[in-house]
Amino acid sequence: MAVDSAKLDVGSAYATHATSVTRYLTGLTRDPAVAEDLAHEAFIRLIGEVEGGRAPTNVGGWLFRVAANLATSRGRHLAVVTRRASEIAIREHGAAPDDVVCERERASEVHAALAKVRDSDREIVMLAAAGLEGAELADRLGTSPIATRTRLCRARARVRDQLLADGFEA
């Protein structure tokens, strides 16, 4: 049986029951901050009931029942989250579209700079970029490892200079 909504003052109900409902919820949740949030949620629901013309006859009992139900729902939710957390697939998201566009622009600028340097510089830089390391690169080019390292360093410098001349921004 509902009480006349006009007769129920939610402010006085809050003053009367807030401390005891919060204390009760603290005992259930073992977390004062969570208990306070749940108590506020119970009072928000009371306001909704009063505004809807369904004010409870026993406000204290109603608040404790709603508070207990909120704590139970929260506990169930946390149990499911804990149990299912390891099942959540962490999908690798592709690069953001603007990153893809920027990367393509950089690649285009690098290709343009490579096209402007000597063939020998382009060859050694491309072989190094393909993953060939010191000894492999030296064998492929028919030079000593030290000479290959020097050639690679100078070729990279010429490509870098060409990029800067073309206005490339790192």
- Give the residue from 47, 65, 87 where a domain finishes: 87
CATH code for the domain of 36: 1.10.1740
Question: CA 36, 39, 40 angle in degrees (round to 5)?
Answer: 90
- 82 and 101 assigned to the same domain: no
User: Residue 133: pLDDT above 50?
Assistant: yes
Q: Quickly state the pLDDT bin for 84 (edges 50, 70, 90).
A: confident
- 103 and 79 assigned to the same domain: no
How many Å apart are CA 21 and CA 13, to the nearest integer?
11
2: phi then psi, degrees, rounded to nearest 5: -90, 150
Q: Number of helices (H) and strands (E) in the chain: give both, helices first.
A: 7, 0
What SS3 state is found at 58?
coil
Q: Are the beta carbons of 69 and 15 closer than 8 angstroms?
A: no
Give me the domain span that covers residue 48. 5-87
CATH code for the domain of 121: 1.10.10.10
- Give the residue from 53, 87, 121 where a domain finishes: 87
Q: What is the pLDDT of residue 7?
A: 62
Locate 128 and state its tokens: 């190094």
Mean pLDDT, all residues of the chain: 88
Q: What is the pTM of this model?
A: 0.50
How many Å apart are CA 81 and CA 44, to the nearest integer?
25
Q: Give the DSSP letter of residue 3.
A: P
Q: How many domains is the chain partitioned into structurally?
A: 2
In a domain, 76, yes or no: yes
- Give the residue from 64, 87, 110 where a domain finishes: 87
Q: What is the pLDDT of residue 1?
A: 42
In a domain, 131, yes or no: yes
In a domain, 17, yes or no: yes
Task: Give 37-60 pLDDT, tens digit per residue.
Answer: 999 999 999 999 999 999 999 999
- 9 and 78 assigned to the same domain: yes
How many Å apart are CA 52 and CA 5, to the nearest integer?
8
In a domain, 170, yes or no: no
